[in-house]
Every structure is written in C-alpha cells, then in structure tokens.
Structure 1
C-alpha cells in the first residue's frame, strides 16, 4: 500500500507486552446543582428589558454531572445524556467554555459530557448550573488560569442565575437581574417535595407577561425565619411575584399547587418562572407519603424530594454528588 507521497505507509506497531500504556488525563467531574427560589420580588422593569429583582436562592441536592476532559487543539465538543438538549453553542455549557477560552487567551480544547438529571424549562436553573460547573471546572483544569473577577463578569453575560451557582454556596441573596450575589449565612438544611408537571414553561414568556405590582414584602422577615430552620415559621414568608403571571399564562399550574395541598403539603409555590412547584416539608415521612400519592394520581408528573445542598468539593477524576 502506498501513502500520499508514493512511499509505503507505516503500519502501527503493537505495544510490546509489559510496556506502559500512554497516560490518560482524568476528567474533572463536577456536580451542577439545581436551585429553588424561596423569595422572588420584581421591583421594576429595566431599559434593557430585564427586571430588577430581589431573590433568595437555595441550592438543592438534585444535580446534573459535568465532566470535562482536555483534548488537543482548541475544539470544544459537547455530549449530553438527554438527546433533547442541543450540544452546539446554543447550549450554555458550550458558550461558557468558549468564553473561558477567550479569556484564557490560548487554545484550550475540551470535551464536555453532561449527564442530565435537572429537567429543562422547569425553574430550577439547570442550564445555568451546567454553565457555572464548566467555568469552575476549567478553572480547576488550568490551575486558576482566569482572573476571578473576569470569570464572574463572564458568568453574568451567560445568564442571571450563573453567578449564584458559581459562588458555590447553599443560600444567597440576588439583586440587580439576580446576578449580584451576597451569600446568606443560614446554617439550616431544608427539605422539599418538588413536582414538575408534564409541560415546560419558557422563562421569557413569563417575564413578558409579568405585571409589576406595588406590593413588596419585607425580605428580612423571611431571612429571620430561615435562620430558625422551622418550617412553620418560614412558610408564611415564602414569596414569588411571578406566580400570578405563571398561573395566568399556564392555568394548569394552579392545579399542581392544589394537588400538593390535597396531599397534605402547605403553601406550595412556583420556583422561579416555573414549571416546577415545590413545598417545604417537616420531615422525610410526610414528604415520602405525599410523593407516593402524587406519583400514583399523576403518573405523567415528575415528583421527587430534595434538601439543601451543602458545599461539596470536586476532585479530578472523582465523582460528583447528586
């Protein structure tokens, strides 16, 4: 057989017995946790079309897994366990890697593998969390190759929730578009039951249809209640200004809330712009009983329990926590 230049093509030689295999760089594997909003108030509509918010994020233990493996050159490849999720630059994880490479100022080839568990268009921040995990993972891979302030600025361009996930804290207040983050020092672990009905809700549609109101509850009351860790004190101060808009545009959400109440769960609330509805639980047993009942009554809904997620560091080649 001849090669392009007319010379015989060299055949690959088999490895000699006992010779060491080429070293394989282990991937950086990070969990990408979901969130719920315990408080979300819309204060005004900004000239850029966004709303000025005040929100309390809580990170929960439902998580995707993001694996980053270095590859030669500058190509960014993405694979995803959910075929419904695009693997091109319309995926926030890919845009995060592109932005990081631009800040780094040199080629950084990477293969991103997303194992999805957080549902899409559900108000749980899955795409934003994946993007933040990519940014944090690439920082780990390069030994902190990008200035932290520049990294935070990049996170803000990717999405309003990305800075919260990048902050790597269980609770935080968000202001501005929700992207100005102040960690909240709550030493509590809350339990929830979450229900995702069988329809997604586009965030943009909810904000377009949202009507501002003059009512703005005192967020400090919720802050003091969360510090106690007592669910009965927290529930009265949960608030989501988007909820009336969500229910007006998607009336079936009211039926989801009613089903949770009939299952014995008090004060169910939409997370973010929906479609997920969640309720705080007093313990594991009531949550398990309600989950069983709702799963039987509504087999097309996704029903699961969660709790506040603490800070869990990642290790190269290690496994993330979900």
Structure 2
C-alpha cells in the first residue's frame, strides 16, 4: 500500500481564484511581465484523488467539459506529481482523478489548483512528509498561480505573481462567477495587451517596469468593506480580453445592472467575477444570468488553500 499511514487513496481540494486587482508591467526581455495582483481564493474548488500506481496518469470528471484537456505528461497535475517524486526520491507513481468545477482557460487558475491539490494528495499518499512549507518551492516551479492555490486566503502576489505575502481579509465576500462557453489563452491576452500598448504608446502613460497593488484595495479587504473594494476592482488585462471576446462587455453590463456592486474579468478571462453585497443578491444575480442563457454560480471568499479532505 505504501504511504506513511498505509493509505490506498488520498483526496485533496484546492480553490480557484479571483484576481481582485491585477496590474501588469512592461514586457521584459525574457518575454514575461512583472505583475502585481491581489488574489482571493474562492469556494469553487478542484478535487484531486491520488492512488498508488506504477506510473503517472490523470483522468477528469465533474460538471466541466474536459474533453479538450491533455492527459499526458504535459498536464500540470501529472507534472506536479512527477516533480514531487523526483525531489523526494519516491519510486512509485500515482493515478490521479480530478473532479473539475473551475472553468478551463477561464482565468481562475483551475489547472494550478489541480497541481496544488496533486502535490498535497501525493505528499500524504506517499508519506514524503514535505508539508505545505516544503511543497511551496515545488509549487513555484510549476507556475505562477500554483503557490497561491496551495496557500489560499487573500494574498498579494508580485514578480510573476508567485512571490506571495498574506493580506488578511476581514469577513466574507460574496461573488457571482459568470462563465463563457469558449476559453481565452493567457499568452494571447497578454500579447493583445502588448499590441494595444504599442499601438497607443503616444496616448497612454508610460508603462512601468515594476508595478504594485493599490493600497486602497488592500485596505478594503482588510476592513471587510465590500463597497470600498467594488470601487477599486481593476484588471489591466480586461481591455485586451474584451477585444478578443467582445461579448464579455455585455456580460459585465448585465451583472452590474442586476445588483452587483462591480464586475471584472478575472485574470486573463473569460470568466467574469461580480462582487455582490450579500448571499441573497448573489442568488438573484445567478437567476438573472440564467434567464439570459449564461451559466453562473455563487462563490464566497476567502477560501482555504489546498488541503486533505479524505484519506482511506
């Protein structure tokens, strides 16, 4: 059976995230951008079950159409399990089963949540004993959003978004997440932003090399002030996402005209996140979207990071 306690399977859950605020710096020579983000983990989670196996495999289920996802070694969950095995010298593999609830290519870090949950589940299954602090350096090597999926809560991310510092949030924030049938490629959205900045260079203020999270946004989450947070929601990638998917503008208008305090494209999109004053307003907004044929769910934040939910 293996594992520290002889478990045959371990299930872990990790949260999707909303970029409450996202600033994007100038394009760097290495092809990346310096970013500054205020992340909030939300209750829409990915669930990964790991079982002992000779090799590494992954399969998907749940309410999301996963037919287009890769199940080979390029998959982020498999990469996470392989990295943990390589770093700890674990000789075996893992069969991973993922229940997806976070939209694919939706700007909410679903793949990163899969990787974080796979790290936590395999660490427990194999008895490798790294724990959250030991897994964090591995998470950083897998992608910018993986460390936050591991940590959860509310945090400021700088650099490529993976240099995290906690931003303690007071109270609970209610969100409505409106999904799109088609995903958006993160590299394509960044490229569209660069083209826009280059095209309008004479009309736009100079793009800073280094960017920071606005202090007003940090204060709003620390004080639990939903109205103040609604006033400072911002995403530098939103104009680029709207150019690539113009219908998102109509989604944002619909949400803000049906009770949302504010709406924003989450990350590179196309998921739109709406901050609402309370749970009743969230339910009413989901119903309004349903009447227009738009899929939407309620979520709350901040949510806990990757954690074990079952070990058998």
Does TM, normalized by the shorter one, top 0.5? yes
1:83 to 67, 86, 89: 67
Q: What residue number does 2:139 align with?
A: 155
Retained in 2: the 8 A contact 1:190–1:280? yes
1:311 to 304, 308, 311: 304
* Offset of residue 217 of structure 1: 7.7
Structure 1 distance, partners of 2:130, 2:212, is 39
Secondary structure (helix, strand or coil) at the match of 1:314 reads: strand
Q: What residue number does 2:159 align with?
A: 176
Structure 1 unaligned regions, length at least 5: 1-23
TM-score normalised by the chain length of structure 2: 0.86
Determine if the alignment matches structure 1 residue 261 to structure 2 residue 256: yes
Structure 2 distance, partners of 1:47, 1:146, is 35
* Mapping for residues 235-250 of structure 1, pairs under 5 Å: 235-250=230-245
1:49 to 23, 26, 31: 31
* Offset of residue 124 of structure 1: 0.7
Q: What residue number does 1:284 align with?
A: 279
The count of residues paired between Structure 1 and Structure 2 equals: 291
Structure 2 distance, partners of 1:172, 1:239, is 16
Q: Residue 186 and residue 251 in structure 1: after superposition, are their counterparts in 2 closer, same or farther (change >3 A)?
A: same
* Offset of residue 36 of structure 1: 0.3
TM-score normalised by the chain length of structure 1: 0.84
Secondary structure (helix, strand or coil) at the match of 1:48 reads: coil
Structure 2 distance, partners of 1:153, 1:217, is 23
Q: What residue number does 2:202 align with?
A: none
- The alignment's C-alpha RMSD in Å is 2.2
* Offset of residue 207 of structure 1: 0.7
Q: What residue number does 2:291 align with?
A: 296
* Offset of residue 87 of structure 1: 1.6
Retained in 1: the 8 A contact 2:261–2:277? no
Structure 1 distance, partners of 2:25, 2:85, is 36
The CA deviation string for residues 103-130 of structure 1, in whole angstroms up to 9 with x for no partner, is 1223122110001111101111000110
Flag the structure with larger Rg.
1
Q: What residue number does 1:122 align with?
A: 106
* Offset of residue 316 of structure 1: 4.1
Structure number with higher relative contact order (C-alpha < 8 Å, ≥ 6 residues apart)? 2
* Offset of residue 196 of structure 1: 0.9
Q: What residue number does 2:48 align with?
A: 66
Higher strand share goes to which structure? Answer: 2
Q: What residue number does 2:93 align with?
A: 109
Secondary structure (helix, strand or coil) at the match of 2:241 reads: helix
Structure 1 distance, partners of 2:224, 2:168, is 12
The CA deviation string for residues 112-150 of structure 1, in whole angstroms up to 9 with x for no partner, is 000111110111100011001111222222334458777
The CA deviation string for residues 21-79 of structure 1, in whole angstroms up to 9 with x for no partner, is xxx843111112110010100122222211101001100001121001112x3x11211
Structure 2 unaligned regions, length at least 5: 1-5, 198-204
Q: What residue number does 2:3 align with?
A: none
Structure 1 distance, partners of 2:280, 2:170, is 22
Structure 1 distance, partners of 2:262, 2:206, is 22
